Amino acid sequence: MASLRSQVHPRVTGYKGADHGRFDTIELARKDMQSRNIGHFEEVMDMEVNGKRPGPRKRKYYAVAGGRRSGVFTDWGDANAAATGTSACHEVFATREEADRFITAWKDAYADTWRRQIRIALDSGWKPKDMEMDTGFLLSKDSDGLPKLENLSIEDGLEK
């Protein structure tokens, strides 16, 4: 259970049958989880935002995470171009600080999904080939093409 879209998005995108919803209060979310007999669930509530949307004449900060380019944009056209054609997570904020925190939270959540899957594989008897880490098979710095993570599922990173 998470309080922000940046925490939910990497955990449900690409997972068939991912069941998620939006609730007005944390209490309603907990009741929903309990009504579905979900015994143990993690609550990710570590990031605070002011919750205010920028007004029509206020400066807006568009955060795009996991798109063609990740970053904070002040122009919707640039943000839209960075997100279009991808399953990017994006949101608008009243301050740059909130937008930066959103992207950081998304990156942390995405990395956490991989950490959990690696831990499951290690617990199941898989072992590392060596102790060298090469993220090149997983991530790309090429801003002209889609990042490799766009169509990647967690299972793609584990050898069978």
Query: Domain ranges in the chain?
Result: 4-109
Residue 64: predicted pLDDT? 96
Decide: pTM greater than 0.75.
no
Taking alpha carbons only, the member of 18, 33, 32, 23 closest to residue 3 is 23
Amino acid at 41: F
- The 10 Å CB-count burial string (b at 16+, else e) for 74-89 is eeeeebeebbeebebb
Residue stretches of the chain with pLDDT short of 70: 1-7, 9-20, 40-57, 142-160
Residues 84-123 have pLDDT tens digits of: 999 899 999 999 999 999 999 999 999 999 899 899 999 9
CA-CA distance, 34 to 30, in Å (whole number)? 6
Residue 142: predicted pLDDT? 60
Q: Superfamily assignment of 4-109 in CATH?
A: Ribonuclease H1, N-terminal domain (3.40.970.10)
Q: How far apart are the first and last CA of the chain?
A: 30
CA-CA distance, 21 to 49, in Å (whole number)? 20
CA-CA distance, 146 to 138, in Å (whole number)? 12
Residue 51: predicted pLDDT? 53
Amino acid at 113: T
Residue 3: predicted pLDDT? 61
Residue 11: predicted pLDDT? 66
